[in-house]
Amino acid sequence: MIILGIDPGLTVTGWGVVAKSGSRLSHVANGQIRTDNKATMAERLVELDSALAAVIDIYKPDSGAVEEVFVNVNPQSTLKLGQARGVAMVAVARAGIPVAEYPTKVIKKALVGTGGAEKQQIQHMLKILLPGVQLAGEDASDALAVAITHANMLGNHR
């Protein structure tokens, strides 16, 4: 089974793809999508949608998962994040792929054992779980964490 994890953001959206075979996970790919901050909101959302559609077309995931929005101090940032998240969910769903959602604390707990884990702890655990992985950046590592969380949750439901 191929699983796509997405860490949505308007400026940078991370994506990560893992393969699950039984209880074994392996890294397939990861990357980051950067939108043009000089473009209009609508143009940036289209850019994000197109880039995610390309990732989906290349890796053909069986299932997808998106990190839930956390509320920022700045309501404008939360709104932009929510719009990017909506585009990510639509891109996956449009391809006929089921989409799950996970809060940040659940993802951190699934990988590190505590919902208050730091980014460095997540990246360290990714290197243990996916030996040899080359992370494309923080957002890509967060997306791989989403994919691994989903892979583990799928195991609990089958």
**Which residues does the annotation mark as catalytic?**
7, 67, 139
Which residues lie closer than 8 Å to 90 by C-beta, 6 or more apart? 49
From the list 117, 121, 123, the residue with the least C-alpha distance to 142 is 123
Q: How far apart are the first and last CA of the chain?
A: 13
Pairwise CA distance, residues 55 & 50, whole Å: 9
